[in-house]
Structure 1
Amino acid sequence: MIEEAKKKDGDDSINYRYTIRGTASQLQIKSAELFLPDYDIIRGDRSTESDASRHGGVLVAVKKTIKSEEISVAELPLSVQSSLRVTKLIGLEPFYIAVLYNPPAGSKYRISIEDLQKLFRFLEETCCKRLLLSGDFNMPHTNWSTYDSANDYENQIASLLFDMNLKQYIDFNTTKKSCLDLVLCNEDSIINDTTLCGNLSRFSDHFPITINVSINSKVSENSSTRYFSYCNCDFDALNEAIIANPFKPYCYSNVDVNTNLWYEWIFKLIEIHVPVRTKNRQLLPPWTSAETSHHMNKIKTERRKLQKKGLCTSEKLKKLTEECNQLQINDRVEYEQKLFASRHKGRIYKYLKSLKKDSLPPVIKSENLKREASTDLEKANLFNNYFATVVTDDGYEYFEPSEQHNFGENDILITEDLIKTELKSLNISKSRGQDSIPPLLFKRCGGSIAMSLKNLFCNIKRLRKFPSAWKSGIVSPIYKDGDKKEVSNYRPAWYVDVQKCFLLTSAFECAPLVQVHSTAHNEMPSMNSSGGSADTCPLLRA
């Protein structure tokens, strides 16, 4: 049962009280017989040939005052569909509550490890930000302080949960003899406390448990480990959604508000139609297979377990490392054989170039500034300071308003056809900008998204102001020649958003805008050595 809890004075968070309780599996109770008229009932019942061995299903009751929606689990295996229900609570930030029932050992309905892997992968992709997973897992032999179990089946499940960064919060028996009901969450700040809230009854041998939850507006940093996989996007469905839900902003008088509304509109559609993936796979070399990636995760899990026990290594870790090294060698050989057999010059040159690509040296220095840097933040600040000294106002011609340059509304023509033509000619291999939307999306959705961009650009032209969000970008240090430790041998490269690039090069190439060319220095975030943004420095003008 999910209901709202009382707020403390001055508390801006949303508080929920979540109660779980197991019931006798033989009971066949209709939703109307629960006498919960103020709750929305979401349930999954296992349908078997034997009622005595049904092992039940799951049921979630959400207070009707809480805005929520059920997440479909139809894509999961049949063994999981009746044992899992996922509810999305809609508040300051989405909060997902998943309830799972896994029959006890010996039952023919116990969920297999393969199906559980698919289930957890589904939860990772669907409920990436805030997830609370609870229910009767029937894992009495697991030590949740170390995520270890003498039972091989339970040990594999514990490792999968550990890899998902799910912390287990129940540290007491939920039945007379053992802990079967679990509460797991991927964000530590959500769970306030978990307590027993009653006694056993003739309908259940499980104690009822209350979990007090608090949701703040700030998104967990763990969410940054996810990204949108645009390559796996259903662009046909996305195009239909853009046409069915056109961009209709409520504000045209403020260019910044108008631009932010456009981003909110497009990202809302992207979240629905573009799958979410973990960055772990994205950061691996291209030849890494799924099996090797799984071995790498096993090694990470084993190392974390050893750290909790205060150990450095084990025979299992050594064996896993040796197996993983051999798998990586085999993967690379197979990848190179397929690549060179394809005789695709572009891919081959790209691969060979990536082999020569080196990261920044451990220590960089500046002879002019008399400074050295070793950490990522120090390197970023040093590059910022150097780039700020070499990028000056010299050579820039700024447009000042005058009578002879009094442009009318029709002096700069921005048409839907012009935008469609430009989007079709985009090179999808180019890097994305600060908004993280790749050229691939604009090219594949050019026909449907062109009208919204036209409205956005025309409003910018009408107001003669450049959006503040487009006055910044990601700057990466590119090595040219000489000593790699010297910052003066690097040049800044600016990653520009597609819309900004179009606005500056195509739509306004026939005439300058007063406000565009009279903006002050922009704060340009520089890239640190690991690819993340750091401090800001004035680099370029819009």
Structure 2
Amino acid sequence: MKQLLLQSQEASRLKALILLGDFNHPNISWKNNTASCRQSRWLLECLNDNFLRQKIDSPTQGNVILDLIVTNTSELIRDVKIGGNLGCSDHALVEFTVLRDTCRTRSVVGTLSFRKTNLQVFKELVKRTLWEMVLRDKGAEQSWQIFKDAFHRAQELSIPRCKKSSKKRKRPAWLSQDLLVKLKAKKELHRQFKQDQLSWEEYRDVAQLCRDKVGTKTQLELNLARDAKNNKKDSYRYVNQKRKVTESVSPAMSKNHKLVTTDEEKTEVLKNFFALVFSANPSPHTSQIEGPGKNRGYENEEPPTVGEEQVQDLLRNLKVSVHGT
């Protein structure tokens, strides 16, 4: 058992883990997360330390829970049902659903490939419109709508589209466009050197120059660490680039307690939730005044108000280097 849990500790750090079987720990109270013997307490501590969750909450043999489903991603296991027996076994039959697509969902969006823009075609399409005649006697809203439609039509015909996946990483902050061009040139010169089309001295000079430029990464990190208190926005931006980006949204629960997995259904559930947050209906949970001020008449006073001048004054004194835009 110890060897199995030690192996599961390593596996849970790498990928989604589902561990199931007869663990034979009848003295564990999964509802209260307590145990009455040393081995069972060690099992609970091991699961908690590795953020593993147990999904079965009903007895599987008699009045105790012996068969367990342990996972590090709770959203993977749904619709756990316990009942019946398989053959002559005295253990209850456990049925559950594994949502395989929760960790495979990858958002792919369409974007414009501006590098392949045909500017000549775009200019000709825009010039074809007789703007003085089209915009004559039109209001600001109508004029803007006409211009926007013409602009989008020209854009669709002159700028091709491409797929942009969230899996692609952004360029590091230290990798400038100039350095990227030099690294590509170094790669090409290395190919020529391998084919005896370039001397070693010429390739060495270019490689040394690129090596010095790449050293700016360390200098950039030192500058960010030195100016972290005075320039917090750049520091936070650099740290956020190092973080892993979640590529999928976990399944959501609708009003009728139904699990939704498709993108359209998730969008509908989130839309309804935010609509309830911003609705004008009062919350059924009214605030209560507790503590020594309860009997001093504070509950009858009007709530505090903030005037427009106070807000404007705070905005004028806002520290741009600290707060985001």
Task: Look at both structures and tell me which one has the larger radius of gyration over its CA atoms.
Answer: 2
TM-score (normalizing by structure 2): 0.38
Higher helix share: 2
Higher strand share: 1
TM-score (normalizing by structure 1): 0.24
